[in-house]
A and B are shown apart, each in its own frame.
Chain A
Amino acid sequence: MATRGQDSLHRWLDDASAAMAGTSEQRRDMVLELESTIQDRVEERTRHGEERERAIAVVLKGMGDPAEIGSAYAPGRPLLALHHTRPFLLNTASLFAAHFLLVLGATVADRELALGVLRIPPIEDPKSVLSVCGHALRTLLFDAGLVLVLFTLLSRVGRAIRFPRLELSVRPERRRNLEGAFFLALVLVVVNLFRDDLLALYVRGDDGVAQVPLVGPGLVSCVPWLNLWLGLALARELLYARYRERRWTLGFDLLSCVAGLFCLLLMVAAERLVDLTPAHAALGEAGDGLAALLNTAFGLIALAAAALLAAKAVRRGVRIAILER
């Protein structure tokens, strides 16, 4: 039977382990090393006649806060430094709000999403699954294009007017976990390809195939932007962390701006995608059902992959902590 001292030792080690970053194997290794040291210290005290229970209590007290010790194994994990939090949240939130309103208007209130020459018609009485796919693709191009261009412009303008630099503070030694987080963000973007207009149950009725969305449109529509933004910011900071040269971030900004403009142009050029019908794909009636099934299956697989990756990333100690460097 475990004594009270042993219990408190295990509790201490559990608390330290919970604060550690790394794989379960790495954490086990670190905990074992700490336990070995604690036992050494306890043994030293008991050798001088101290009672074991008391020795454990004294040694644990001397070791300090287990969470602090555990987190010391992962120094510099802040991805977002305290002084960058406000501009980051402000910029992201304002962009998010604009996007949310536009897409909400277009997809829920049945109003066209229009910004100058850029126009996204509402999903209203879709002609076919292919038409919805075309619509979703255009919306995604619109999303990606706008995020890329705005991200670049805002970051460049911010630097020009000496607005507190918008960056995620990344330390090179945490790169592996950051890469995991970045990859996860990218996967989430891909998953968001299968938004409510695609990730849906398809019901065959008298009027043909109807969709029953699985996820609320307003909620889902905001996620791609947030993810894209995070992904872009992380990618740029990883480049900087790796090469330590500003020209890489400038190169990245230029590239993302060009890619954004390309997406927007492609979106305009692909206007006819929403007019696609099964006849265009020569799939006929059966094509609708098959495409619907494939869409749903692919969407679910992507979701499962994202969940697995998220679990893996958590195990590897991906954390987004807002701490001062």
Chain B
Amino acid sequence: MPSLFDKIGAELKRGLVQIAALCLLQERLYGYQLVKILASHGLETEEGTLYPLLRRLEAQGLLLSEWDTQGARPRKYYLLSPQGMEALPRLREAWEEIAGAVGTILGTPVVGTTLPGGAKEEA
């Protein structure tokens, strides 16, 4: 039975994974690759969370996908769509604003708010 902290943590992470995935998918990646990259950045994400999220982003027109059947096994690759490219800078701005505001409220101003693939900003 997940604790209240787990639930809140999971909800918090879900929003973060969304923006992180969009940033990472400026490069063509398949699902499992994305899981591993996110994990390497400290964002452990289950497939049951990430894959439906990717599909939702695709349905919203922010991502494009294609199957690659050339390799040992078929893989579904995702890439940011032109619409996603357009949305990304705005998302980045929104993230920086939120992170800054939350950091101020918590009394721990966020230093070096960085998104994958983005320039590091020093506070």
Seen from chain A, the residues whose Cβ lies within 8 Å of a Cβ on chain B are: 29-30, 32-34, 36-37, 39-41, 63-64, 68-69, 72-75, 173
Number of interface residues of B (CB under 8 A): 18
- Main SS of the interface on chain B? helix
CA distance A116 to B74 in the complex (A): 69
B59 touches A173 (CB 8 A): yes
Asked if B104 is at the interface of the complex by the 8 Å CB criterion, the answer is: no
B100 at the interface (CB under 8 A from A): no
When chains A and B are docked, how far (Å) is the Cα of A73 from the Cα of B59? Answer: 12
CA distance A69 to B51 in the complex (A): 9
A sample of 13 more A-B contacts (CB under 8 A), given A34-B51, A37-B32, A63-B48, is: A29-B76, A33-B31, A33-B51, A33-B76, A36-B76, A37-B31, A63-B46, A64-B46, A64-B48, A68-B48, A69-B47, A72-B52, A173-B56
Residues of A within 8 A of B31 (CB): 33, 36-37
Closest residue to B49 on the A side, CB-wise?
A: A72
| Cβ B51 vs Cβ A30 within 8 A | yes
Cβ-defined contact, B75 with A36, below 8 A: yes
- Kindly state the separation between the CA atoms of A41 and B47 in the bound complex, as whole angstroms: 12
Q: Smallest distance from the beta carbon of A75 to chain B beta carbons, Å? A: 7
A75 and B52 form a contact (CB under 8 A): yes
**How far is B47's CA from A34's CA once the two chains are assembled, in angstroms?**
8
Q: How far is the CB of B73 from chain A (nearest CB, A)?
A: 5
For A33, the closest partner residue in chain B by CB is: B76
Is A36 touching B32 in the complex (CB atoms < 8 A)? yes
B34-86 interface with A by 8 A CB criterion: 35, 46-49, 51-52, 55-56, 59, 67, 73-76
